[in-house]
Chains A and B, each alone.
Chain A
Amino acid sequence: QKEVEQDPGPLSVPEGAIVSLNCTYSNSAFQYFMWYRQYSRKGPELLMYTYSSGNKEDGRFTAQVDKSSKYISLFIRDSQPSDSATYLCAMSAGSGAGSYQLTFGKGTKLSVIP
């Protein structure tokens, strides 16, 4: 079993829909949780960054972390065709040896249909 599990999709939604993406993880040492967006043939771009449990909102994006369940989510409201990309969750321990290493999920490919 991989440390971070993420459903690869693909996920197809109509424009304006609410999108829910999620990851589960097994390493209880993870303290920092990130969502990256990766367009085709591009590098990952940081979207959201949260520390420990809780919610964080930035415009149309909301990130949630539930450390007790080892489950993180990204919600996209009023989805747009420009949101079509692969969304990668990533985590790091934040302290200790190798804590800077990001551990990624496989990524979920999202298509928003106009």
Chain B
Amino acid sequence: GAGVSQSPRYKVAKRGQDVALRCDPISGHVSLFWYQQALGQGPEFLTYFQNEAQLDKSGLPSDRFFAERPEGSVSTLKIQRTQQEDSAVYLCASSLGVQETQYFGPGTRLLVL
């Protein structure tokens, strides 16, 4: 079946621009996670949704980062007023339940100039 998909795959933004990154989880997966992977590093947790409820946003690095999942399926990670340090790969993962295996999408590679 189809895995987790993310779009766009690549995004170049000028510093100060707003960006929106989309995640389509595996159908039927209740839990959705966003991670940030800087170059040469492992992914770091950003936020977690159970259906449409954002239950944990402790990893969001600043109030410029905002995530939503209004209908409990597709999720969008929005970054306002992008900064160079926001350049990273943003990974989305979904799972059947919160403690189940997390399946990752291919990521969106964001470059802020």
Distance of A94 Cα from B99 Cα, bound (Å): 7
How many chain B residues touch A (CB < 8 A): the figure is 26
A94 to chain B, nearest CB (A): 7
Q: Is the CB of B43 within 8 A of A102?
A: yes
- State the CA gap A88–B106 with chains docked (Å): 15
B43 CB contact (under 8 Å) in A8, A42, A45, A104: A104
Main secondary structure of the interface of A (DSSP, over half): loop
Q: Within 8 Å CB of A104, what residues of B?
A: 42-44
Query: How near does chain B come to A6, taking the closest CB pair, in angstroms?
Result: 7
Asked if A106 meets B42 with Cβ closer than 8 Å, knowing A43-B91, A43-B106, A100-B48, the reply is: yes
Contact residues of B with A, CB < 8 Å? 4, 31, 33, 35, 40-45, 48, 56, 58-59, 91, 93, 98-99, 101-107, 109
